[in-house]
Amino acid sequence: MVRQGLIVVDVMGQSLYEYTHPCDHEEVRDLVSAKGPQEPRHAFLRLKCTLTAKGRSVNLKSASYKVVQVSGEVVHHEEDQAWLVALGTPVPHPSNIEFPLDKQTFVSKHSLDMKFTYVDDNVGEFCGYGPKELVGRSLYEMHHALDSELVKEAYKTRE
């Protein structure tokens, strides 16, 4: 029998904050807030994962965090409680991608100010830059000025 991590019955009725990385609690508050129109909400959250890379189960205190894309809607809101119905989709770590990437795809890692900290060799064929030319430079330096509004909109998640 293959273990699937946390059992649904064990997490039902529990606060999402218990399973979310402390740095992502503000994102959770935004997801369940009643402010603004009740339309679909989206966020990337680091959630506790009780499965190891080898498929073994660990207890919740030993769990690591995995990035999950959460999309849903607040279906009921009271003074101190909100019910969020959402779907969580795991986001695979680039090192775990099992299918080969084509020549127009490259993997990069960035610091919080969007400076490249790692770029794989495919970037040269796609962008014309070598990895050494990009590491330490900000992604924001790389787009055309007329595309600034598109870049801004890509990061915008709420009004």
Whether residue 13 is found in the same domain as residue 77: yes
| Number of separate domains in the chain | 2
Instruction: Look at the block and give the residue holding tokens 């073994």.
Output: 56
Query: What does DSSP assign to residue 62?
Result: G
Q: How far apart are CA 30 and CA 11, in angstroms?
A: 21
pTM above 0.85, yes or no: no
- Examine the domain organization and report whether 24 and 84 are in the same domain: yes
Host domain of residue 139: 95-155
Question: What pLDDT digit, counting tens, does each position of 41-99 carry?
Answer: 888 888 888 776 666 777 777 777 888 888 888 887 777 777 778 888 887 766 655 55
